Chain A
């Protein structure tokens, strides 16, 4: 079945860039997503990328996709303390009959002042 893996923890200093990595196994993955979860809250969609794209930039966020290696990364420029949260990578095949998202276990980002 599908599997999505992430490193568990990342610590950076305020103002530095953060890079969160994700690998997935499903070759039919069509859409890949990054969600942010703050303590006790739901998931906030940050950005997504379609599998025929290599890169997507949205303000401080840059998503890179290496489809050959099935590797996805999220770069946060000028990381702020408010960026401290758990970041989840998720994928779906986009098949209309099966729209379930498969999530990684999440990367906890700690931003030190």
Chain B
């Protein structure tokens, strides 16, 4: 059973370009979470999605960032007009449908570098 998959693993963008990060959850998992990790810091929650629904986006910056989890295909985190401060590791996690406790399983991350 493959774990959470993210691609690309490394992404380099110039300021003003768009970054698209993809996440495929574990088989049978319908909940996806995105976190951002700045250098030497812990992970900060960004957004929680279920299929075709954004459940909690309280950690998402109000501008330039968006996320989706379509009925078919991976979850996408999109960052428009990237700036140097967006350089970070972006982690996706997934969990199964609600069973009272939903452990989140993390992918390997996408490391975004903005030049």
A contact residues vs B (CB 8 Å cutoff): 4, 31, 33, 35, 41-45, 48, 50, 88, 90, 94, 96-106
Quick check: B91 and A96 within 8 Å, CB to CB? no
Enumerate chain A residues within 8 angstroms of B44, measured Cβ to Cβ: 103
Quick check: A42 and B109 within 8 Å, CB to CB? yes
Which residues between 54 and 110 of chain B lie within 8 Å of chain A, taking CB atoms? Answer: 55-56, 58-59, 91, 93, 95, 98, 100-109
Q: A97-B56, A103-B43 are in contact. Are A42 and B101 (CB under 8 A)?
A: no
B contact residues vs A (CB 8 Å cutoff): 4, 31, 33, 35, 40-45, 48, 55-56, 58-59, 91, 93, 95, 98, 100-109
Quick check: B106 and A98 within 8 Å, CB to CB? no
Quick check: B91 and A100 within 8 Å, CB to CB? no
Assembly CA distance A102 to B35 (angstroms): 10
| Given A4-B42, A42-B4, A99-B55: 10 more A-B contacts, CB < 8 Å | A35-B106, A42-B106, A50-B101, A88-B42, A94-B100, A96-B98, A97-B56, A98-B58, A99-B95, A103-B44
Quick check: A100 and B101 within 8 Å, CB to CB? no
Quick check: A101 and B45 within 8 Å, CB to CB? yes
**Nearest CB of chain A from residue B59's CB, rounded to whole Å:** 7
**Nearest CB of chain B from residue A105's CB, rounded to whole Å:** 5
**Nearest CB of chain B from residue A40's CB, rounded to whole Å:** 8
Closest A residue to B4 by beta carbon equals A42
Task: Please name the 7 residue pairs, one residue from A and one from B, whose CB atoms are nearest each other, closest first.
Answer: A100-B45, A103-B42, A43-B106, A42-B108, A42-B106, A105-B42, A103-B43
Quick check: B55 and A43 within 8 Å, CB to CB? no
Enumerate chain B residues within 8 angstroms of A101, measured Cβ to Cβ: 33, 35, 43, 45, 93, 104
Enumerate chain A residues within 8 angstroms of B48, measured Cβ to Cβ: 98-100
Closest B residue to A89 by beta carbon equals B42
**Nearest CB of chain B from residue A5's CB, rounded to whole Å:** 10
Assembly CA distance A50 to B104 (angstroms): 15
